[in-house]
Amino acid sequence: MGLNSPLFDRVRIKPKCDESRREDVPGCERAGCREAGLHRAPKGRGREGQFWRFCLPHVREYNASYNYFTGMSDDDVQAFQKEAVVGHRPTWTMGAGQGRRKRDGAPNSEEFDYIDPFGVMGSGGVERTRKAPEPPKPRRPAPVLRALETFGLDENAGTTEIKAQYKVLVKRFHPDAHGGDRSYEERLRDIIRAHDTLKAAGLC
């Protein structure tokens, strides 16, 4: 096969394992070291997420002398460890007067309408104007609830809604609407009985 043959251009030689590995792996970043930098080591405080690349002997040497808190006073170290408990997120003390501060654009506690009898949310002992709670609606008797269920309505249905639904159901299940078919008569009787129950209760 000649050198000008198109087949010659397609010939590829498989690289050795060591050669391909050396091309992909960066070198050790310790000055004067020519070994592969297979191991990562953190660059330190203030450079989180950044790493040195070292060979095994140099990463061991680096880790033996590494101290994240180098240059920090004892008080600063304690404050850092305390903040680490909550993931270095800001916190505020709960108690009187604390709820009135603006925090990160959050609305003041006075803007909320809530009942705080123990002053936990920072009411500061100031009595707020509270809306009188609405009296609970009396629960309707069981026959009325069954009649409303026959109509397909909930227990809060009003007179207008009940009357409109009664007209719709009577038209739907009347034998005349089905060409004289009397198979819907029992359903129609249930609707009429339910209407009588609701009328006796003063709902229609």
Q: Specify the DSSP element, H or E, that contains 146.
A: helix 142-151
pTM: 0.35
- pLDDT tens-place string over residues 73-97: 889 888 888 888 877 787 777 764 4
Confidence of residue 57 (pLDDT cuts 50, 70, 90): very high
Domain-wise residue ranges, the chain? 15-65, 142-200
HSE toward the beta carbon, residue 64, CA cutoff 13 A: 6
- What integer pLDDT is reported at residue 95 of this predicted model? 63
φ/ψ region of 105 (left if φ > 0, alpha if ψ in -120 to 50, else beta) reads: left
- The CATH classification of domain 142-200, taken from the options 1.20.1530.20, 3.40.50.2300, 1.10.287.110, 2.30.30.40: 1.10.287.110
- Helices 159-173 and 185-200 cross at an angle (nearest 10°) of 160
- What integer pLDDT is reported at residue 126 of this predicted model? 47
